Structure 1
Amino acid sequence: MELRSKGDKWFDVFNIIFMLFVVVVTLAPFWFALVGSFNDGVDYLRGSVYLWPREFTLANYQAVLSDSGLYHAYFITISKTLVGMSTHIALTALVAYGMSRKELKGRNFYLLIMMIAMFFYGGLIPTYLLYKQIGLLNNFLVYIIPSMFSIWDMIIIMSFFRTLPEPIFESARMDGAGEYRIFIQLVLPLTKPVLAAIALFNGVYQWNTYMDAMMFTTKSSLETVQLVLMRLVTDASYGEALGQQASMYMPDEAKHISPATLKLAMMVATTAPIVAIYPFLQKYFVKGVLIGSVKG
């Protein structure tokens, strides 16, 4: 049995205390939002609602869910997240595979162009004019096409591809396999952890971003839940309109809501889905990050 020194034990104690502190600091804002969203709106204005609801109510969530536009916004957000994440992984991994092959002609030139594009950005106005010229404004594809490829993610995946043993590629070619078949049937199964980690990062980005919806769309049919949340937080009239709409459908519950608790309920409603999915991808995420850090 390995004997541990007194210093090692104190180091473990310090690590545990420090990590508990980090967990508390990280989870506290989410917990406060969750508690406030289940508290009576009028009572919440008195303050000191931190650990649990002082006057429990579901009126805030009933008011938020009474907005029919929210369901369509959820549909748009879920669609852009699933489609955007899938196309991002497919195209980025395909390009990374090609760039990882030393026999690719012009490979260094392509890398140079990508590095320049990654560090130098044209700006919002040229981007807006470009999207307008190619017909992406007020188009669902504005959520998909611009995010299909990431140079940084390509570099991460390409670094992992380079660690794969070359004999497996030579053996596959001797058996008559082409590059696409090698990529789909041989390379992708070996890189599931890395791709899952990239997919999680991109999926969270796709779910949380609202700038594309705010800058490049004006149609209410293309609104995302994050844009709805942003308007609720920044526009007082939007929260009042939502409260008035709720009072029409549930007059008895309207007295239990307030703009502050409506915002908290909307925050929880927009964050909960992506948080609920994370545990199912956690093992792939951790493994992918570890593999990338060791082999990259």
Structure 2
Amino acid sequence: MNRLSLGDRSFTIFIYTALALLAFSCFYPFWNALVISLNTGSDTSLGGVTFWPRDFTWENYRIIFKNDNLLGAFGISVARTVLGTLTSIFATSLLAYGMTVPGLMGRKYYMVFFVVTMYFGGGLIPTFILINNLHLMDKFLVYIIPSMINVWNMIIFRTFFKGLPDGLQEAAKIDGCGPWQTYFRIVLPLSGPVLATLSLFTAIYHWNEWFYAAIYIQTDALRPIQAVLRQILYSNIVSQNVSNLDAGSVAAMARMQQVTSKSLSNAIMMVATIPIILVYPFLQRFFVKGVLVGSLKE
């Protein structure tokens, strides 16, 4: 085995050092947020809390999980993420498959129409009126139906489908497969990387999205976890401001020492982030190959 030259060793050391620093810069903010969420708010306000909690406490998480609506909101978020991802991936991939059919009349005009919707929207008021006319106000389906088609994902699906060998679909047609059978038996089984990657992106969107709940949902039982956590953070900030006016309240002052808006916001970030992070290891082997699909030219 040939030994590396001094220049090659120096370059390798430099690359690994740069990658280690990059990995640390990406991981440290998340770790520091976790440390602050496990530290008392008054101690955190003094500064210097970096790698380990200096005054450990569970108070931030106790306030969050003491909320009666949190468990139901977690179920709503899980149901929305699973159902929303499945329906969006199915509808978007089916549309993309249809856009790859050579004999489709007006295919170029359809693509122009779809691309325009990526840059121009109707605005909040027309969208609100549309949702109301569709009788989706204060309904769980308001999370699912408006986001079933994602044009960007459709373009990625279409690019991937056009890269599949033409002989596979022609052989399926000779064997008597119709469009539906070809889609389910040939196209989808060969689309594992792009399905996994876009499913991950779609799941992250559904898990993190809270705006629809703020605009279209009035029933607390239908609010996802992001909206409930946002409500907890806001109500805690308000209660702390009120407590500041009541200097004679010993209980309020004791609570102020345990929890601040910064410590609580970091705890909320952990509760909202960790569940979706746990999905990554299951899709990691598809992710690298899938993210390269959009860079391929037609």
**TM-score (ref. length: structure 1):** 0.88
The alpha-carbon deviation at position 162 of structure 1 amounts to 0.6
Q: Distance in 1 between matches of 2:80 and 2:241?
A: 29
**Alignment partner, residue 247 of structure 1:** none
Residues 2 and 166 of structure 1: is their aligned pair in 2 closer, same or farther, counting only changes over 3 Å?
farther
**Alignment partner, residue 172 of structure 1:** 172
Q: Distance in 2 between matches of 1:288 and 1:262?
A: 36
> Which ranges of structure 2 fall in alignment gaps of 5 or more residues?
243-253
**Alignment partner, residue 290 of structure 1:** 292
The alpha-carbon deviation at position 294 of structure 1 amounts to 4.9
**Alignment partner, residue 139 of structure 1:** 139
Alignment of 1:28-177 (within 5 A): 28-177=28-177
**TM-score (ref. length: structure 2):** 0.87
The alpha-carbon deviation at position 36 of structure 1 amounts to 1.4
Deviations 1:2-22 (A, max 9, x none): 676655544433332332222
**Alignment partner, residue 245 of structure 1:** none
The alpha-carbon deviation at position 139 of structure 1 amounts to 1.3
**Alignment partner, residue 211 of structure 1:** 211
**Alignment partner, residue 273 of structure 2:** 271
Q: Quick check: 2:59–2:259 contact (8 Å CA) kept in 1? A: no
| 2:185 alignment partner AA | Q
Q: Distance in 2 between matches of 1:77 and 1:239?
A: 28
The alpha-carbon deviation at position 159 of structure 1 amounts to 0.5
Q: Quick check: 1:233–1:263 contact (8 Å CA) kept in 2? A: yes
Q: Quick check: 2:87–2:148 contact (8 Å CA) kept in 1? A: yes
Give the secondary structure class of the aligned counterpart of 1:272: helix
Aligned-residue RMSD, C-alpha? 2.4
Q: Distance in 1 between matches of 2:292 and 2:182?
A: 25
Give the secondary structure class of the aligned counterpart of 1:68: coil
| 1:257 alignment partner AA | Q
Q: Distance in 1 between matches of 2:97 and 2:8?
A: 44
Q: Distance in 1 between matches of 2:198 and 2:98?
A: 18
Q: Distance in 1 between matches of 2:208 and 2:173?
A: 42
Q: Quick check: 1:240–1:259 contact (8 Å CA) kept in 2? A: no
Deviations 1:110-151 (A, max 9, x none): 112112222221111111111111112211111101111111
Q: Distance in 2 between matches of 1:29 and 1:232?
A: 23
Deviations 1:33-52 (A, max 9, x none): 11112223443333321110
- In the alignment, does 2:230 pair up with 1:227? no
The alpha-carbon deviation at position 255 of structure 1 amounts to 8.1
Residues 157 and 11 of structure 1: is their aligned pair in 2 closer, same or farther, counting only changes over 3 Å?
farther
Q: Quick check: 2:156–2:294 contact (8 Å CA) kept in 1? A: yes
Identity of aligned residues (%): 39
Deviations 1:134-174 (A, max 9, x none): 11221111110111111111010100101111111111111
Residues 166 and 21 of structure 1: is their aligned pair in 2 closer, same or farther, counting only changes over 3 Å?
same
**Alignment partner, residue 181 of structure 2:** 181
Residues 231 and 173 of structure 1: is their aligned pair in 2 closer, same or farther, counting only changes over 3 Å?
same
The alpha-carbon deviation at position 73 of structure 1 amounts to 1.0
The alpha-carbon deviation at position 85 of structure 1 amounts to 0.5
The alpha-carbon deviation at position 271 of structure 1 amounts to 0.8
